[in-house]
Amino acid sequence: MSKTVVGRFAPSPSGYMHMGNLLAMLLAWLDCRAQNGEMVFRMEDLDPARSRREYVDALAEDLGWLGLDWDRGWPEADYAQSRRGEIYERYFEDLRRRDLVYPCRCSRAERLAAASAPHPGEAEWDRRCRCARMSRAEQAALLQSGRPLAWKLRCPDEDIAISDGHYGLFVQNPARETGDCILRRADGVYAYQLAVSVDDMLMGVTRVVRGRDLLASAPRQKWLIETLGGTAPDYCHAPLLLEGERKLSKRYGSLSTRELRQRYKPEALIGLLAHACGLLDRAEPIAARELIPLFSWERITREDIVFPGNDL
């Protein structure tokens, strides 16, 4: 028997959702429901400075309004990343024992410089800041200094292949192409790459469907999950929704669900999204569940979608 498909919503409550987020949520839900899967809702409220209670509430409410339901997750505390610090710590300590992370004393500006593309003549190694090459003694002295330090992952210097369910083969050498990423910030907050990998692993997620902008993170997440002893999910990235006509003051992409909900019934919005991504020939009102039998990745465009402003 094939294993149960487990999909997930993993929004960040740093603002109200816009059409691009809604498209990614709709596709994640359809992908899961079309396979009779179980849907998980995880609240990615990792960053206390950016997460707001009103957005947390709005996310769940907006998904419900659209008819996108879930089987487990929010509002259970175990599914809020802000409550999972001890779990991330355990996995972080495992990586630390294995010398797969190192403390970084660089300023934010230095870190950004280290992450930029190498210029001709520079060694690839320069993409790693010097902290990656600190001796044990230097590291110990730094840790003893008591200053707040970020911790970075030693990204693997090897090709990692993802067979993306929508975009096909994607190969990346993280050490060369992305540079080492921060797993724990200097203020102690665990970072996205660690939290998302640990959570997808522990929550039994088998299908990650999300916007194409995160495709570049998938090889690191796959590698992290496997390094931590788990099985990586299948990744399936969705086209992005871009803003159309610049001259309109309010465009699709920037309209928040607060505004969209005043203008549209949920079926009308679902119809617009389904048409925009290629699932429906016409933008006619339809309930999300009526799209389940029509859903197939083959019908979904791979091009990013530009909404013409006058569709509004």
Residues lying near ligand GLU in the complex (CB under 6 A) are found at: 10-12, 44, 196, 210, 214
d(CA 224, CA 151): 15
Least distance to ligand GLU from the beta carbon of 200, Å? Answer: 8
Contact 239, 303 (CB under 8 A): yes
Least distance to ligand GLU from the beta carbon of 122, Å? Answer: 31
157 versus 213: smaller Cβ distance to ligand GLU? 213
17 versus 255: smaller Cβ distance to ligand GLU? 17
Least distance to ligand GLU from the beta carbon of 237, Å? Answer: 10
End-to-end CA distance of the chain: 46
Contacts of 211 (CB under 8 A, 6+ apart): 20, 24, 237, 238, 240
**Beta pairing partners, 184:** 151, 190
Least distance to ligand GLU from the beta carbon of 63, Å? Answer: 13
236 versus 280: smaller Cβ distance to ligand GLU? 236
Contacts of 134 (CB under 8 A, 6+ apart): 102, 103, 142
110 versus 243: smaller Cβ distance to ligand GLU? 243
Least distance to ligand GLU from the beta carbon of 185, Å? Answer: 16
10 versus 80: smaller Cβ distance to ligand GLU? 10
Contacts of 48 (CB under 8 A, 6+ apart): 82, 189
What stretch of H or E contains 206? none
